[in-house]
Structure 1
Amino acid sequence: MTMNKGKRAAAREFRISPVAVGCTLLIVSAGALAQQAQQAQQLETVTVTGIRKGIEAAISVKKNSDSIVEAISAEDIGKLPDASVAESVSRLPGVAIQLSPVTGRAQQVSVRGMSPDFNGGLLNGREQASTGTGRGVEFDQYPAELLGGIVIYKTPDASLVGQGLSSTIDLQMVRPLNFATRTMAVNYRKEHNTKAENLPGFTTGSGDRAAFSYVDQFADRTFGVALGITKHKSNGGGRPNFNTWGGWVADVPYNGGTVKTPGGFTTDIETTDFDRKGAMAVLQFRPNKDFESIADIFYSKGDFSVKKRGLEGPLGGLSAGANDQGGTLINATVSNGIATSGTFTNWKGVIRNHNEDYTDELKSIGWNNRLNAGAWTLKADLSYSGVDKHSVRYETTAGLPGNTVNNADTISFSGFDGSNLADVKYTSGLNYADPKLIKLTDVQGWAGATGVQDGFYANPTTKDKIKAARLSGKTDVSWGPVAAVEVGGNFTRRTKDRVAVEGALAVKSALNADGTLKDRLAFADIPNPTVGVGGLTGIPTLNWNPAGSLGSVYTLIPWTVLDIASKSWGVSEKVGTAYIKGDIDGKIAGLDVRGNIGLQIQHTQQRSTGFRVDQATCVEATKSCSYIGMADGHSYNDFLPNLNLTTQLTNDSLLRFGLGRVLARPNMEDMKTSLELSLKTDISPQRLNATGGNPKLEPFRADALDLSYEKYFGNKGYLSAAGFYKNLKTYILNVGQPFDFKPYVTPSTTLPPGGSTVGVFTQPVNGSGGSIRGAELAVNVPLSLATNWLDGFGVAVNYSYTDSAVELDASGFATQNVKTTKIPLPGLSKQVTNLRFYYEKYGFQIAVAARKRSDYLGSINDYQDRNQLVYIKGSTGVDFQTSYEFSSGWLKGLSLMAQGSNMTNPWFSYYDASNGQTTDRKKFGKSYLLGLSYKL
């Protein structure tokens, strides 16, 4: 049926366009959406609550969109379907989460098999700052209680600023004038975290979560206010971590032959204390239909403290430092060349007492104005988003002091089959819990024979700021199938700075008053020690809390060597965007079609700073070098056309088509201006060699094609099948290229024989890409559609399969955790499955959800604050929630609820793709929430 202008006007009263979502942010609570749709369509009033309320509101957004989108709406004020934003969106087709390796909480989101950095992260349609070295938004910074909905755009839209290459994720706050009446809600939940392992040293955890929301309207509904506050505190139980030193199996001499033994291990019990506070405020002024002004503020602050208490050490007869002479294998049981058990003499274990504390603070402010001026609708928007992250890391070592062989110090192992490194049992011949023996010291001699490193200290700070201004105008036209035209412009300025202060900790008696080294073998007593266990070994060890020990126990020896100095950098960007978009509503090739066609033109100016270290000036004992600042920049243009078409095959069946060019800007650390120059002497002929960033990097770019079929059952349910193809025009990876370093050579630079200044510079560059393709299937229906006997029951299930022709050279990535020569696209899980089964009736709500993700290549920050690629094993997570709401009497409005997450408690494991060996694994335990909420 062709829509004429009159019918279009009527349809706009209840149809929500995703463009309007991004520009005017008129996403409201599920109840308001349902009420508007009922009024516009003059249907019989039906009261829908809880789970079905959120589902139906989300379906309405998806169905009425002109683009291919996925949506989630709050089930009630301050109540998204899950405890976190990332968990909520992970229920959607083509979406998978990556857990934080520290907290175990859902943190980052991969869409359509691509890295989290390929998503655009928005709040109320505005680009958001991030805490990491990249651009991927950490969604655990956004408390779910403060949001009213989420829309994921899978196809581009010319009026959507801040788009990503894989998707654009827009988090949306409520609009108070879209609520019928004053609404208040308060909820409180008590948290219990189980032991991750039922072993000595593991404890349970506890916490609580509280939120308050208030929405009201004043002055004859011309002024609205929405306020929300939330607090979440969690003291986690002990979590096991076991690292097999990269899956290393050692070849060890024994009885005239060679046998295989474990090469070494690191194991910790980790505890995490977490405290996040959040607040939001929305002021909405709409004196008449022609003018509206909305100001909103979002604030979130998190404090984290991660404590690691454990034990590590080499086996295989290895000498791991200047103070360790290695050991000999004795009393071994050998089978087929494998020592299934045995003992190593002269072992020097290292007790780990590490603290990693950080605070992040997010502020997001926006002011949006809309004015109907004759035939034009004009909009103006100003926004600011800023994140500050401050970290402090203490790594301390304790064990046997001195540089002597201790024959009583042995390590025995058993249960080894040649590959099960994470399951081997260990026992020691020394009492590592005896404070008379165990001291704070450089146990292994990791600083070498001329230095000291009794521990390590890092204090990195990251600041990311985004300021943006936007103007646009829209008017109806009659240009064939084009029914309206919107033109606009946006200017964004972003600055991101990272400053890293790092260095060795030395016990105070190791240094003279002037800071020079006095005794590299010095040691100190452990302050206020307690007895713990060495991770999963169960070996008793001494624990202590090193927080604040700099100055009282230790002196800092700052390091300015290559890899430390390069961690400090700054990047600034200015992006100007002009766009034109036409709304399509008419006939094309005889079909009734709606959608949009548009073009974005972007001009980018970027500049970065960094440091060049003069390797010839470095002093090995103190790891200090001379360095100078550097700066450089680049500018470029992008043309991003797009087309979205939707045709209605039947009353409730839609066919969608999307085509466009998309981009994702580079990881900001890759853009730093830095140069780490040295003479490479382990090759012939010798040559200069350097690594660094690239201030001239341009974005990842891709041409995207999408096709989707959707069958709706009113607003109650739907089924869909979608396919997509992305042709990656460019990809970014590290490549070594010939380079003349003459401008960077100083009198102290050591040149190769012959004095050539030409060498190899390895840095991120733009290269040719590949392709990624996939299919998504989804069913979200109430089972009452099949029979009334199943009224109240419902199911949502989706499956996605993604494949890629991208095969990247592993040497092009600065990572220590990838052992193969070729790697797949980071973030790609070939298969992702989500299932949610629910029942809602008579005030009861029960839901069980499971999500399964296959193996993938993930991106993490390692112990040195460097971004690393690691292979992560797939797993299945199961959650449940149940509640009861009183609908009458003096308890009306009160709900009781219980929730459980991570019920399968799977291992979170890294592995070596070259041999399948587990290299690192940990568990996070189950989490239970019990609480109540009250709504007025």
Structure 2
Amino acid sequence: MQLHRTALLAGTIAVVLAALPAVAQTTTASTAEPAAAGDPDAAIVVTGLRASLQSASQLKRNSESILDAIVAQDIGKLPDNQAIEALARLPGVQVTRSDDEANGILVRGLPNVMTTFNGRELFTVENRRANLQDFPAGALAGIEVYKSATADLVDPGLAGLINVRTRRPFDFKGLELAGSIRGAWNEQTRKIDPTYNLMLSDRWTTGIGEIGLLVNYSLVQTRYRNAVRFINSDVTTIDRGNTDPADDVVVTTPGVGGNVHVPNEIGLYYSRGKRVRPSVNSAFQWRPSENFEMYVEGLWQGYRGESANDRFGSNLVDRSDEGLRATFSNVVLDPKDPTRITRLSKSGGKPGETYRSTTNDQGDTYQAATGFKWNTGRAEITGEGAWTKSVYTWKTYSLDGQTRTSPTLDVDFDRNNGVSFALPGFAALEPANWNWRGFYDSRGRSEGAGTQWRLDVKLDTDWAVVKRLDFGMRATTHTARTRSGDRYAWTAPLGIPLASLPVGPLEVVSDGFRGNDQPFRNWLTPSRNGIRDNYEKLRLASYEAMKKLDWASDVANWSTPEAQIPPRSGFDASENSYAAYAQSRFDLEPAGAPIDGTLGIRIVNTDGQYSGTFQQTDANGVMTLVPLTTRQNYVNVLPTFQARWKITPKLQLRVGATRTFTRPSFGDLNPTRTISIVNPTRNPNETRAAFVNSGNPDLKPLTSDNYDVSLEYYFGNAGSASAAVFRRDVEGFINTYTRDIQYGNYGLVSLTQPENAGKGKIQGVEVAGQTFFDFLPGWLSGFGVQANLTYLDAQNALPRALGTGAPMVRMTGVSKWTYNLAGFYEKGPLAVRLSYNRRSGWVNSYSRNSNESQYAGELARPVSRLDFSTSYEWNKNVTLTFEMSNILAQPYENYRYYSQTAFYSRDVRDEGRFMSLGARFKF
């Protein structure tokens, strides 16, 4: 299959080449190539929105690949703290958000993006790519999103490659001191958070050549608070008679019989916390002669997090621990679907449950690199070596509570696209009404490390058509490791008052809801400091509670000062890769219209070893561990073809045909399989014998054959318009699926593991344009507009392991429509920008229906954002700024189908609205 697809793609490339007009015997030079990061001959950026948009446009125009870019103050002018937020403005790019920041990215529908830092690979912790939210926008010179590959790029993923560029000292003429300071106010937290950036750069002429040094420091702090009203994803069918003792619930409303649907659980979730991201990058350059240059670069990215997340949940269906059933009254059925409950009152059954989960976590990523560039006249030889290490540690303490009794709930499942409920008669702020339910303790460490080496040669030729030959090689090592341990003390049977714990006074949980859709919002819980400062006292209380309950395994778990990390827990990965490429750059001029491009091939060998454990925890909590190790070795052959036809000096047409691949994540390849046997005493209504969670060491790399056509028109000062069509034929898209299966001697179990999906396709259209209205008179010429629209049709076959037929379904995480519209004004010292972004709804996940023949999805509703920024140049050195982001404050909403036609809303999440005031300076 692999050879067949390679031959097919190579054949397509050959057809395109054959279709080119006859080659003239003489050619002319092509348009200048884009300057590489840190190129001393590169024109340096630009102040002013108009100039930065023009620079981004020129990068796109002159690139050998199809790309979009953001340059210099084009980021600074947007109301964004991190680079990933700014990327959401580009055509074909979609981002996902949580906890008041963008933290996931898709390019043309795919999340499998390679990230590079100044052209070399960078990764965060045990992942294969970097967290783009860790890059502060103020430290960057630009970002390029490569949507089509050339053979010399570092193994671009299915979605392409995102390169983050910082400045180097030779980018400036001499001493340069620049920076910014900003304070951002979050409407939800009502706190002001600082953002700093300071860069110092200089260069000198010495007896050993020219030397330059640059140091940049950045810090971004964000405090966040989100509020969610939710419905659990599980929907129960009440299918027995109302008087049967085996019933899940008793229904007293006349006329409501069997076969009606109701969600298992409803509740509230509040995420809150503080993130601090310090960052330092530095660069040293030495040019002893005009044709030789060396550099050394360093990067440190830090993350410091403190969170306190609160949850209240009420189980509607399951019996209480004493075996008591809930009673439903005042039941209202959906008039369009009489098997679906829309309102009810619930009494009895399980009590309400809460937790306050507190986490302190820390991440540090380091990279050191050195390289050279030597121009011999005919050949340019470059080489680079780099070392990367990334470490993340965490400690989580969660204190669980529950209501002393089972309060009555009045529930409306369809209130403004979400659930709404009240607890009439329940005094939620009375300490006597809350008991201690349990204590959870977790700690762990994840890390990744790697080296990379590359050597590249660009050789000019005297040939008529092939103007240059590029070839090179690259070798990398990459290790990843995760270790963690946890323990839980379930104390609910003891009926211990929550207020009696050694954590200080209970506090009222504060919410972050807008409007009046949710009547019940607040309850009592220990403070964050009360939990973390009194950890040892809580551990001893948990230890004593386990002794009272006579649960031997839990007594042993809580006898040590910290949660134990089993020696064989987690996973280890060690992977080496070797790559070589060859690429020709052709340049010809048939019929007076220049055509240039590249034709190349990249060959990559991956050799990896992945270790984990087989973990089984029996019904009494006793765990056994068996080590597991697997290996993979495979070769990917990646042909690439890019061509550009300069129809006129302003109009050009691009075509491309490439193959790309993405390796499965280390976590997905982890062979660890964890089996948790169900304890029937604690879970009397559970029909499955065990819950199985597993990685999948048999996963194959994802591959994609990519076809691109782009028509681009450049005009005026920073004006451009483009239209692109593209197709991705994808094989092996990976997602995690849960299904019930018969498993060995266990019987029916719930299995959750990643699987390779079948074939898929992504095809779409991108349209983009930008211009200033220079033709208007006077001050009106300062107006401009930027807009782009992306349509995606993305489908893939679900894994055959989930059932017969492997139907084609919408690809998860992908919106069919995304568009951005920005209006701006820049004249004299004033610059203003208003940006609107909207993405249509998308599918979050798929799961099996009860009839085991259909697939039901969880879907997200469309999301819109409106951001505003303005700046005023106080003088040539200082610019004042003001920004507002998420002005619309539109909540995130999703919903879950439990049949082909019926669904319940799942989450409604209110997120923060930000305003900031600051200043930029440059001397």
TM over 0.5: yes
Matched residue, 2:270: 269
Cα distance in 2 for partners of 1:699, 1:605 equals 12
For residues 184-195 of structure 1, the aligned pairs below 5 Å read 184-195=177-188
How many residues align? The count is 832
Q: CA deviation at 1:689?
A: 11
For residues 411-426 of structure 1, the aligned pairs below 5 Å read 411-413=408-410, 416=412, 422-426=418-422
2:841 to 809, 832, 855: 855
Matched residue, 2:773: 783
**Is the partner of 1:430 in helix, strand or coil?**
coil
Matched residue, 1:306: 307
Matched residue, 1:547: 532
Q: Deviations over 1:813-846 (max 9, x none)?
A: 9xxxxxx997421231110001111101120010
Matched residue, 1:746: none
2:89 to 88, 91, 105: 91
1:797 to 780, 784, 787: 787
The alpha-carbon distance between structure 1 residues 241 and 4, as it changes in their structure 2 partners (threshold 3 A), is farther
State whether structure 2 residue 884 is matched by structure 1 residue 882: no
Cα distance in 1 for partners of 2:809, 2:68 equals 30
Q: CA deviation at 1:428?
A: 4.1
The alpha-carbon distance between structure 1 residues 3 and 457, as it changes in their structure 2 partners (threshold 3 A), is farther
State whether structure 2 residue 514 is matched by structure 1 residue 528: no
**Is the partner of 2:426 in helix, strand or coil?**
coil
Cα distance in 2 for partners of 1:778, 1:803 equals 18
Q: CA deviation at 1:503?
A: 2.0
Matched residue, 2:459: 475
Long gaps (5+) in structure 2: 1-20, 239-249, 512-517, 544-553, 681-687, 847-855
Q: CA deviation at 1:27?
A: 8.9
The alpha-carbon distance between structure 1 residues 807 and 821, as it changes in their structure 2 partners (threshold 3 A), is closer
The alpha-carbon distance between structure 1 residues 207 and 61, as it changes in their structure 2 partners (threshold 3 A), is same
The alpha-carbon distance between structure 1 residues 81 and 781, as it changes in their structure 2 partners (threshold 3 A), is farther
Cα distance in 1 for partners of 2:368, 2:275 equals 25
Matched residue, 1:205: 191
Q: 2:759, 2:797 within 8 Å by CA — same for their partners in 1?
A: no
Mean alpha-carbon deviation: is it higher for 390-399 or for 285-294?
A: 390-399
Cα distance in 2 for partners of 1:283, 1:390 equals 31
The alpha-carbon distance between structure 1 residues 3 and 590, as it changes in their structure 2 partners (threshold 3 A), is closer
Match of 2:839, as an amino acid? Answer: R
Matched residue, 1:460: 444
Q: CA deviation at 1:896?
A: 0.9
The alpha-carbon distance between structure 1 residues 781 and 81, as it changes in their structure 2 partners (threshold 3 A), is farther
For residues 86-485 of structure 1, the aligned pairs below 5 Å read 86-99=84-97, 101=98, 103-114=99-110, 116=111, 118-131=112-125, 135-195=128-188, 203-219=189-205, 222-236=210-224, 238-246=225-233, 248=235, 251=238, 253-255=251-253, 257-258=255-256, 263-316=264-317, 318-319=318-319, 321-323=320-322, 325-329=324-328, 340=343, 342=345, 344-345=347-348, 348-373=351-376, 375-400=378-403, 406=405, 409-413=406-410, 416=412, 422-440=418-436, 442=437, 454-485=438-469
Matched residue, 1:198: none
Match of 2:326, as an amino acid? Answer: G
Matched residue, 1:513: none
Q: 2:865, 2:888 within 8 Å by CA — same for their partners in 1?
A: yes
Q: CA deviation at 1:629?
A: 1.1
Q: 2:757, 2:797 within 8 Å by CA — same for their partners in 1?
A: no
Matched residue, 2:619: 620
Q: Deviations over 1:75-131 (max 9, x none)?
A: 2897777321111111111011111x2x220122111011x2x11111111111134
Q: Deviations over 1:444-463 (max 9, x none)?
A: xxxxxxxxxx1322223221
For the aligned residue pairs, the C-alpha RMSD in angstroms reads 3.9
Cα distance in 1 for partners of 2:431, 2:115 equals 51
The alpha-carbon distance between structure 1 residues 27 and 438, as it changes in their structure 2 partners (threshold 3 A), is farther
Cα distance in 2 for partners of 1:736, 1:265 equals 21
Mean alpha-carbon deviation: is it higher for 600-609 or for 388-397?
A: 388-397
The alpha-carbon distance between structure 1 residues 881 and 258, as it changes in their structure 2 partners (threshold 3 A), is same
Task: Percent identity, please.
Answer: 22
Q: CA deviation at 1:788?
A: 6.1
Cα distance in 2 for partners of 1:3, 1:547 equals 76
Cα distance in 1 for partners of 2:327, 2:747 equals 41
2:733 to 728, 731, 734: 731
Match of 1:777, as an amino acid? Answer: V
Match of 1:547, as an amino acid? Answer: R
Q: CA deviation at 1:191?
A: 1.3
Q: CA deviation at 1:769?
A: 1.3
Matched residue, 2:473: 489
Q: 1:854, 1:874 within 8 Å by CA — same for their partners in 2?
A: yes
Q: 1:799, 1:832 within 8 Å by CA — same for their partners in 2?
A: yes
The alpha-carbon distance between structure 1 residues 635 and 520, as it changes in their structure 2 partners (threshold 3 A), is farther
Match of 1:528, as an amino acid? Answer: G
Q: Deviations over 1:473-500 (max 9, x none)?
A: 2211134421111111000111111112
Q: Deviations over 1:876-909 (max 9, x none)?
A: 001110110024xxxx311111001111111122
Q: CA deviation at 1:33?
A: 3.7
Match of 2:920, as an amino acid? Answer: S
Q: CA deviation at 1:437?
A: 4.0
The alpha-carbon distance between structure 1 residues 646 and 249, as it changes in their structure 2 partners (threshold 3 A), is same
Matched residue, 1:64: 62
**Is the partner of 1:325 in helix, strand or coil?**
coil
Q: 2:795, 2:809 within 8 Å by CA — same for their partners in 1?
A: no
Cα distance in 2 for partners of 1:262, 1:671 equals 34
The alpha-carbon distance between structure 1 residues 7 and 329, as it changes in their structure 2 partners (threshold 3 A), is closer
Cα distance in 1 for partners of 2:867, 2:742 equals 57
The alpha-carbon distance between structure 1 residues 345 and 298, as it changes in their structure 2 partners (threshold 3 A), is same
The alpha-carbon distance between structure 1 residues 588 and 79, as it changes in their structure 2 partners (threshold 3 A), is same
Matched residue, 1:901: 885
**Is the partner of 2:410 in helix, strand or coil?**
strand
Match of 2:192, as an amino acid? Answer: S
Matched residue, 1:769: 759
Q: CA deviation at 1:717?
A: 1.4
Matched residue, 1:16: 33
For residues 555-594 of structure 1, the aligned pairs below 5 Å read 555=542, 557=554, 558=557, 568-587=570-589, 591-594=593-596
Matched residue, 1:634: 632
State whether structure 2 residue 921 is matched by structure 1 residue 934: yes
The alpha-carbon distance between structure 1 residues 4 and 899, as it changes in their structure 2 partners (threshold 3 A), is farther
Match of 1:309, as an amino acid? Answer: D
Cα distance in 2 for partners of 1:467, 1:60 equals 33
Q: CA deviation at 1:161?
A: 1.0
**Is the partner of 2:158 in helix, strand or coil?**
coil
Q: CA deviation at 1:52?
A: 1.0
The alpha-carbon distance between structure 1 residues 27 and 223, as it changes in their structure 2 partners (threshold 3 A), is closer
Q: 2:251, 2:329 within 8 Å by CA — same for their partners in 1?
A: no
**Is the partner of 2:647 in helix, strand or coil?**
strand
Match of 1:486, as an amino acid? Answer: D
